[in-house]
Amino acid sequence: MIRLPSILVCLGLSALAGCAHGPSGTMVPTAQNPPMLILVSIDGFRADYLDRGLTPNIASLAANGVRAQAMRPAFPSITFPNHYTLVTGLYPDHHGIVNNTMEDPAIPGLKFSTDNARDERWWDEATPVWVTAQRQGLHAATMLWPASDIPNHGVLPDHFVPTGEKTPPDQRTDKVLGWVELPPGQRPAFTALYFDQVDTAGHLGGPDSEEVNQALRLVDAAIGRLVAGLRQRGLFDRTNLVILADHGMDSTSLERTIYLDDFVPTKDVHVEAIGSMTGLRAEPGHEAAVEQALLGQHAHMQCWRKAELPPRFHYGANPRVPALLCLAEPGWSIWTHAFVASLKGGFVMGMHGYDNADPRMGALFVAEGPAFHQGVVHPAFDNVDVYPLLTHLLRIKPEQNDGQFSVVADMLKAG
């Protein structure tokens, strides 16, 4: 993939602020005017999906840029916690989005879930990169990035699409291309773009299904449309693209089910989250019996008190993490007999949320652009390190975070 020389005006905070003229009269980025940065998340794109030969556009970007062997998600390896980790550089324990479903003693009577996450109090323990960029004078945009349409300390992206909209992949790409056509004083220096199709297919059919293969082709075509659109506008050589995922996927089946109510009566526990990882607390008066039944190693499942989780998980200190956690072995899932009966023959064929060190949870990471080396395969790294990379590319001062820029610095060209 060869980058074309730029012939357009530079990107900036205002029409000419911070611009410099190159030898041919073209405008070039300066310290106040970073190249555009487009961050793309393909939910559920397991790192090894790239080797299937079904995503030629992403593969071309990887060949001409940087590809990680894998990117380790934060624990738990699920969607909301990891999308917030990617844009804050904080472990879920520190940014507060500790699960896709959770409760908070400080927000009584309200349960966080994918359908009930709009209360700003869930999100204000951290500051996402688009807010930091805007506070430091840049413009930002988000296309369906999880929770990016919820104000953070009262701030929304300059341009965004509400996350509830059902927008096909090509239309998402076209909206982003429309934003890059805005005048320099309005054009986003940072854009976050989100695709959910691969994850949805993985849950329905499993990671080895034709549904996943079709979703890979569909999203790759949208990435190709984005690249072609940037080329047509003379902006491809002026744009850093970072394409990644939040987690991987593993195959599951009804035969690999652990039934929680085989261990404890459901009336004795309050379950906050269930599936690959189950979080619960004992009802008053049942604490000792529940702990005796659950704590320790079981066939295909291990349970801990929150304070006794393995330190490498960086998890368990936040008040939103329930008192007891049970983690299924990859490929297994934890449900109740009543829940499985309610499925009436259907079953989730793919799951994530397992131990984040498991290779099947490894996520895609590809980066290409003027800042990146070409043809580099980078060792696996933790996704908290993406945030300092993003702030470096945007030339903004980062918020306090858990990432290490030194881990990803060798992806970048000198200077």
pLDDT, tens digit, 9 for 90 and up, residues 378-413: 999 999 999 999 999 999 999 999 999 999 999 999
Q: What is the pLDDT of residues 181-222, one digit of tens each?
A: 999 889 999 999 999 999 999 999 999 999 999 999 999 999
**What was the pLDDT predicted at 1?**
32
Whether residues 229 and 277 share a domain: the answer is no
Length of the chain, in residues: 415
Q: What is the pLDDT of residues 119-168, one digit of tens each?
A: 999 999 999 999 999 999 999 999 999 999 999 999 999 999 988 888 99
Weakest mean pLDDT among 11-20, 260-269, 392-401: 11-20
CB 322 within 8 A of CB 316: no
Give the strand pairing for 239-244 and 36-42: parallel
Cβ proximity of 388 and 272 under 8 Å: no
Mean pLDDT of 341-362: 93
Q: How far apart are CA 307 and CA 293, in angstroms?
A: 18
- Burial grade of 108 (CB within 10 A; 0-12, 13-18, 19 or more): exposed
One domain, residues 112 and 237: yes
Same domain, 189 and 210: yes
Average pLDDT over residues 217-232: 98
Q: What average pLDDT does range 77-87 have in this prediction?
A: 98
If asked whether residues 34 and 114 sit together in one domain, one would say yes
Mean pLDDT of the region 84-92: 98
Residues 285 and 340 in one domain: yes
Is a pLDDT exceeding 50 seen at residue 31?
A: no
Closest to 9 measured CA to CA, from 157, 177, 185:
185
Whether residue 12 is contained in a domain is answered as no
347, 370, 391 - which closes a domain: 347
Predicted local distance difference test score (pLDDT) of residue 32:
56
> Is 79 an active-site residue?
yes
Do 185 and 139 share a structural domain?
yes
What is the average pLDDT value for the chain, to the nearest integer? 91
pTM of the model: 0.91
Same domain, 130 and 152: yes
What is residue 346's predicted lDDT score, i.e. its pLDDT?
80
Q: Is residue 70 part of a domain?
A: yes
Contact between residue 251 and residue 348 where contact means Cβ atoms under 8 Å apart:
no
Q: Range of 362's domain?
A: 20-250+357-411
Contact 296, 322 (CB under 8 A): no
Active-site residue identified among 26, 30, 79, 127:
79
Confirm whether 5 is domain-assigned: no
- pLDDT band for position 18 (cuts 50, 70, 90): very low
Give the pLDDT mean for 221-231: 98
**Would 271 be classed as within a structural domain?**
yes
Number of structural domains in the chain: 2
Residue 4 belongs to some domain of the structure: no
What pLDDT, on the 0 to 100 scale, is given for residue 98?
Answer: 98
Helix (H) or strand (E) holding 86: helix 79-88
Whether 164 is in a domain gets the answer yes
Residues 205 and 332 in one domain: no
183/316 same-domain check: no
Cis amide linkage into residue 388, ω under 30° from 0: no
* CATH number of the domain encompassing residue 406: 3.40.720.10
Domain CATH number, residue 298:
3.30.1360.180
Domain presence at residue 395: yes
Q: Pick from 325, 347, 369: which residue ends a domain?
A: 347
Work out the average pLDDT over 287-304. Answer: 98
pLDDT value at residue 55: 98
Q: What's the pLDDT at 344? A: 75
pLDDT at residue 30, rounded to an integer: 43
Regarding whether 125 and 200 lie in a shared domain, the answer is yes
Domain for residue 71, yes or no?
yes
The answer on 230 and 115 residing in a single domain is yes
pLDDT at 29: 41
**115 and 222, same domain (yes or no):** yes
Please count the other Cβ atoms lying within 10 Å of the Cβ belonging to residue 15.
12
Domain boundary residue among 305, 323, 347?
347
